[in-house]
Structure formats: structure tokens, C-alpha cells
Amino acid sequence: MKSFDLIVIGAGSGLDVAVGAAEQGLKTAIIEEGPLGGTCLNRGCIPSKMIIYSAEVADLIQQAGKFGLAASLTKVDFKQVTERASKTVDADARSIEQSLRQGKNPVLFKGRAKFIGPRMVQVNGETLQGRKILLAAGARPSIPPIEGLDKVPYLTSKEALRLTRLPKSMIILGGGYIAAELGYFYAALGCKTTIIQRGPLLIPREDRDISKLFTSLWKKKYTVLLNASATKVEGNKDSITVQVTANNSVRKVTAEKLLVVTGIRPNSDTLNLEKTGVKTNKNGFVVVNKYLETSAKNIWALGDLAGVYLFKHSANLEAEYVLNNILDRKKPVDYYPMPHAIFTNPQIAGVGLTEQEVIRQKKKYVVGKYYYQHTGMGAAMEEKDGFVKLIVDKRSKEILGCHLLGPEASILSHEVVVAMKANRRKALEILRSAVHVHPALSEVVHRAALSVPL
């Protein structure tokens, strides 16, 4: 049996903790079953954004006419699009592994970890004892119990990033952010796309104004079935048929490929956590406190496994705090303010509370809203739909939330994030008083702030 000061299970953001602990002199082990770098690098944000950028370029070409330019998309080398991403992330994962193997600390163990005692882990038949443990094993796609689904070839987000031939048609089960991003990618490059969403809106966790407009825009471009449930699936490698129940009627939808993106499932069930005393909630996420400590002494958890936020940037933030807490520099995680973005068309971004959350919390609030088209750059871009929405506490003037839909929303949101972080109470004043370049696109944020009724 080998003993370590720290054992880290999962080499996504957990890798940052393992390396940081080793640099501070802790004898550290890191266990990873798959390629190094975790979900984000290998099957998430990095490869998805690389292929989505190709979709954005295709969109620009197809919109050239409204700017007086004659251009058309004559060919899509789909294999080059996806292999550009796959080769990049695979090379990065190999580079991380090679770097770890060249050093003596942390020590890499490739394989699946299972607990056989409170802080005793078995991997590939070898037993490791850890004085402290970090659980960073992430999550995987959640597959719904639909009749026949287990008998047909279907894609998850992992496989959808690595296809080398563009399908002629695709059915997407799910209407969240992964469905929106991958649906946009495939549709923009010429795949006939049908989205089946159980609820009345796409991206339903966003601010209601965002999700309503986004749903309306997508219904104009793609086949979107709302309030619909997939009840049966049948087919083969060439064709998949999904039986859909919606509005008390049943119909069948057929496509070449089926993509299932109905949520994620934490990997807690693979770890044999009952041996540790670590508690999970009803959805399988590891329960943590504000220090990211679990219910078991000297065991922490972060990232998708803990499920506080399901973003790579939140996991990276948690890694910083976990490292300090492991090193006995105890400090609660400060998530404020936590932004996010959806890289689709139109692009979405947000930070803070949605209007529906503010209403549920019975806060008194005011809203400032401004449309891209009423700014110089928005008009130049022919942007008809995009807007920025600020939700502000009526009494304290604190920005409770900001939600954006339109070009570069992910970038524009950071002006608000920085202002909120700089001064929680005066963020709105900062946005209103800062001089903005005219006619930069960021004027839409400035004018949204100025439009808040004080």
C-alpha cells in the first residue's frame, strides 16, 4: 500500500489542486480514468467552442448579402472542422500526461478509483492511502429511460463533437444549453435539425425574457417541438425514429442521427462512497459546505461532482479555495458574481439572478433594458433582436442580475461582472458614469444602465 498526503480523484480542475499541493511539499497522487484535462478539455467547452466557431464563420458568410456582399458557403469539410478540435485537445491531453509522468510529484495513476475504506482507494488493483482526499471526478451525460433507446445507436455530447461526416438530419432530445450549442453547430453547417423539448421554452433556466425570445427565434429557423416527450425510439445505424407525444397527440420524427442531451449525472456512483461517509443529495451530487468540505473529515469535493455550479470557471475557482483549505488556510468560497454564457446564435450570457428568481425572493426591483439596434454599432451590424437587461434592487440600487442576448454577449457581460465585483453597491453607478467608446458595441451595456429608472 502506498501512502500520500493528498489523493485527488479527477484530473480536470482537480489537476490544479494536485499540482499546487505538490509544489507546497505535499506528497500527492492524482487518479484519472480517462484522458487528462477533464470534461472541459476533452469533451466539453474547448472542443465545442472550436467547432462552433466554424458555425459562426458559416453564419457570417450566409449573412453577407445584407451588407452588400455577394458570398456563399459552397462546401463544408466537416471532417476538417471536427478533427481540428479533436487533434488539438488530444494533443493537449497527451502533453499534460507526459508532463506529469516526467515528474515525481504528483504521481499519476491511470484507472478508475474506488474506495475500500474511509480514505483508502483502490485503482488497477493497487491500494492507496490518503491523509486528505479531493473528489473531483466530474459528471457524465444523463440518459433518460425511454423505450427502445438502449437498442439504437445514439450520440451524447461526447460523440457529437467527434463525428467526421455531417449528417443530413438530426433529432436532439433536450433544450438546455448543450442542446442549444450543438444544435446551432449542426444546423449552421447544413444539418436539418429537430429539437424535442419537454417544457414550453428552450434554455428554460435563463431569464424569462431571454428564453422566450430565444425560443421564438429558433422556432423560425428550426423544427422545435415544445411540451413534447419522446416516448419510444426505434431504428438502426442509418435511420432513427422517435415517437413524440405533445399536446395530447402522437407523431413520429425520423432522422439520420439522434443526439441525447437531457442533462448530466455526477460520477459519485462510480466511487463506492458508502465506504467513506461522504453524503450525496437526491440527484447524486456530493454535499459540500461553504469550504467545499464533505460530510467526511479531510475529504473535499469540487466541480460537477459537487454541483454548486456546473461551469469550468466555477470549478477552477473552487480549486483555488480547496487548495488553500487543504493547506489549512481555511476560507469560504466567494462565488460572487458568477457569470455564464451559451455559445449559440444568438449568443446568451448572464450573471446574477433572473427576473423570475427575483420575484420568487419577493425583492422590490426595477429593470433597465436596451436593444443593440439603438446603438451605432448595433445598427451597423443589422442586429434586430439583441438586448441587454439589468435587474436592480429598487432601494439599494444593487445590480441583482444582468442578462444579454446578441453578438458578443459573453464578452459584454464581463463589464457588468467586473463592476459588480469591484463594488457590489455601486456597480450600477460605475457602469453609468464610465465613459464608453462611441460607437463600440459596449455602448449597449452603458445605455441599459442609464435606462434603469432610479
Q: What is the residue extent of each domain of the chain? A: 2-141+265-326, 149-262, 339-450
- Tell me which residue of 258, 300, 244 sits closest to 276, measured CA to CA: 300
pLDDT of residue 47: 95
- Cα-based distances in Å from 346 to 175, 257, 403: 15, 24, 13
pLDDT range class, residue 248, cuts 50, 70, 90: confident
pLDDT of residue 101: 94
Q: What architecture is the 149-262 domain classified under in CATH?
A: 3-Layer(bba) Sandwich (3.50)
Dihedrals phi, psi of 277, to nearest 5 degrees: 85, 5
- Tell me which residue of 198, 192, 177 sits closest to 244, measured CA to CA: 198
Catalytic one of 340, 436, 438, 446: 438
Mean pLDDT of 370-399: 98
pLDDT at residue 277 greater than cutoff 90:
yes
- Cα-based distances in Å from 369 to 81, 377, 405, 446, 449: 37, 17, 11, 10, 8
The x, y and z cell numbers of residue 167, run together, are 449528417
Rounded Cα distance between 134 and 146, Å, is: 35
Rounded Cα distance between 109 and 104, Å, is: 12
Tell me, yes or no, if 438 is annotated catalytic: yes
Q: How many Cβ atoms are within 10 Å of 422's Cβ, its own excluded?
A: 10
Contact 326, 365 (CB under 8 A): no
pLDDT at residue 454 greater than cutoff 90:
no
The x, y and z cell numbers of residue 331, run together, are 476560507
pLDDT of residue 407: 97
Rounded Cα distance between 282 and 359, Å, is: 26
Domains 2-141+265-326 and 149-262 share a fold: yes
Domain boundaries 2-141+265-326, CATH class: alpha beta
Between 41 and 211, the more confident residue is 211
Rounded Cα distance between 77 and 190, Å, is: 12
In percent, how much of the chain has pLDDT > 70? 100
pLDDT range class, residue 182, cuts 50, 70, 90: very high
pLDDT of residue 5: 98
pLDDT at residue 1 greater than cutoff 90:
no
pLDDT at residue 259 greater than cutoff 90:
yes
Residue-wise pLDDT tens digits, 74-92: 999 999 999 999 999 999 9
Q: Kindly give the residue spans of alpha helices, DSSP state H, lying in 103-204.
A: 157-160, 177-188
**Taking the chain, what is the end-to-end CA distance rounded to the nearest angstrom?**
66
Contact 92, 100 (CB under 8 A): no
Contact 295, 278 (CB under 8 A): yes
pLDDT of residue 257: 97
Q: Which superfamily, per CATH, for 339-450?
A: FAD/NAD-linked reductase, C-terminal dimerisation domain (3.30.390.30)
Mean pLDDT of 252-266: 97
The x, y and z cell numbers of residue 185, run together, are 453547430
Mean pLDDT of 200-214: 98
pLDDT of residue 379: 97
Place of cell 472542443: 47
Rg for the chain (alpha carbons), in Å? Answer: 24
Residue-wise pLDDT tens digits, 413-427: 999 999 999 999 999
The x, y and z cell numbers of residue 91, run together, are 494533443
Mean pLDDT of the chain: 96
Helix and strand numbers (H, E) in the chain are: 13, 21
pLDDT at residue 237 greater than cutoff 90:
no
Q: Residue 261: what residue type?
A: V
- Tell me which residue of 196, 150, 192 sits closest to 176, measured CA to CA: 196
